[in-house]
């Protein structure tokens, strides 16, 4: 694992106490860095609302998104097990356990995934979600990779909760709900943008993320402007590359 890139990633994950922290963009970065720096092929991040219902907030690849139905619509999956137990759930070969998580396993194998780890995002007794790591080849993650994955999840959790508790007018649960609400707005906007520009939803999300980064705006604010057809985002389609973060 490239030590410099790992260090840069922790700097980026820790850089969340600034004003107007963009939690949704932060989660997308975490998913992307997980695939870049860990021996995994896709990553998804789920957060729980105040009722304990999980939502898929970010994914490293469109390959993970078809799993959303199976991740969220039933208790048949590693994410629910990880969230409720607060412990990492590992399955180095899904094909060897056809009975466990039968619906999830069938969907994952059909998409080409044969192994999964669900890592809890927790701070002491508070579990707020899970970092889910998918692989196309069977086999367990090394101890080094597992430790780094848990470190990513730990830093992300601390960052999210720290941002929320430093906002005096909102409780942690309310801030997490705000993130979930913003996620819905972003999903609506990327669907609308994909239809308008006749592009894929993954490309639509990339356009909005790059535009938000380059213009110094929150991703959720850009999404709302897309939904409202605001003239403020008329230049969105002309942004092709994000501004470097360092």
SS3 123: strand
Delineate the domains of the chain, giving CATH numbers in brackets: 3-166 (3.30.450.40), 178-238 (1.10.10)
In the numeric block, which tokens belong to residue 113?
């995934």
User: What are the distances in angstroms from CA 219 to CA 2, 21, 149, 211?
Assistant: 29, 10, 25, 8
pLDDT value of residue 95: 87
SS3 237: helix
Do 223 and 209 contact (CB within 8 A), yes or no? no
Residue 170 has pLDDT above 60, yes or no: no
Contacts of 29 (CB under 8 A, 6+ apart): 12, 13
pTM for the predicted model, two decimal places: 0.69
The 10s digit of each residue's pLDDT in 102-151 is: 888 888 888 889 999 999 998 888 899 999 999 999 999 999 999 999 98
The 10s digit of each residue's pLDDT in 47-59 is: 888 788 888 888 8
> With pLDDT > 90 as the criterion, what percentage of the chain qualifies?
21
Residue 65 has pLDDT above 80, yes or no: no
The 10s digit of each residue's pLDDT in 190-245 is: 888 888 888 888 888 888 888 887 887 888 888 988 988 887 777 776 544 444 44
Do 201 and 68 contact (CB within 8 A), yes or no? no
In the numeric block, which tokens belong to residue 231?
């003239």
């Amino acid at each position: 694992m490239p030590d410099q890139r790992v260090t840069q990633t922790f700097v980026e994950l820790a850089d969340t106490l600034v004003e107007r922290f963009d939690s949704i963009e932060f989660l997308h970065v975490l998913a992307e860095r997980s695939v870049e720096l860990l021996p995994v092929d896709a990553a998804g991040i789920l957060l729980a609302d105040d009722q304990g219902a999980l939502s898929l907030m970010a994914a490293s690849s469109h390959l993970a998104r078809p799993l959303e139905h199976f991740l969220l619509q039933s208790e048949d999956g590693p994410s629910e097990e990880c969230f409720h137990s607060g412990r990492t759930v590992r399955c180095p070969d899904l094909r060897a356990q056809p009975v466990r998580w039968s619906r999830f396993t069938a969907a994952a194998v059909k998409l080409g995934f044969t192994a999964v780890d669900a890592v809890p995002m927790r701070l002491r007794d508070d579990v707020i979600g899970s970092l889910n790591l998918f692989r196309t080849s069977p086999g367990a993650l090394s101890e080094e990779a597992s430790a780094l994955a848990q470190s990513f999840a730990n830093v992300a959790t601390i960052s999210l909760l720290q941002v929320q508790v430093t906002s005096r007018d909102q409780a942690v649960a309310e801030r997490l709900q705000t993130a979930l609400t913003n996620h819905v707005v972003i999903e609506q906007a990327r669907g609308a943008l994909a239809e308008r520009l006749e592009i894929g939803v993954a490309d639509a999300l990339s356009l909005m993320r790059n535009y938000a980064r380059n213009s110094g705006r929150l991703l959720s604010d850009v999404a709302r402007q897309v939904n409202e057809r605001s003239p403020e985002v008329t230049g969105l389609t002309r942004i092709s590359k994000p501004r470097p973060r360092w």
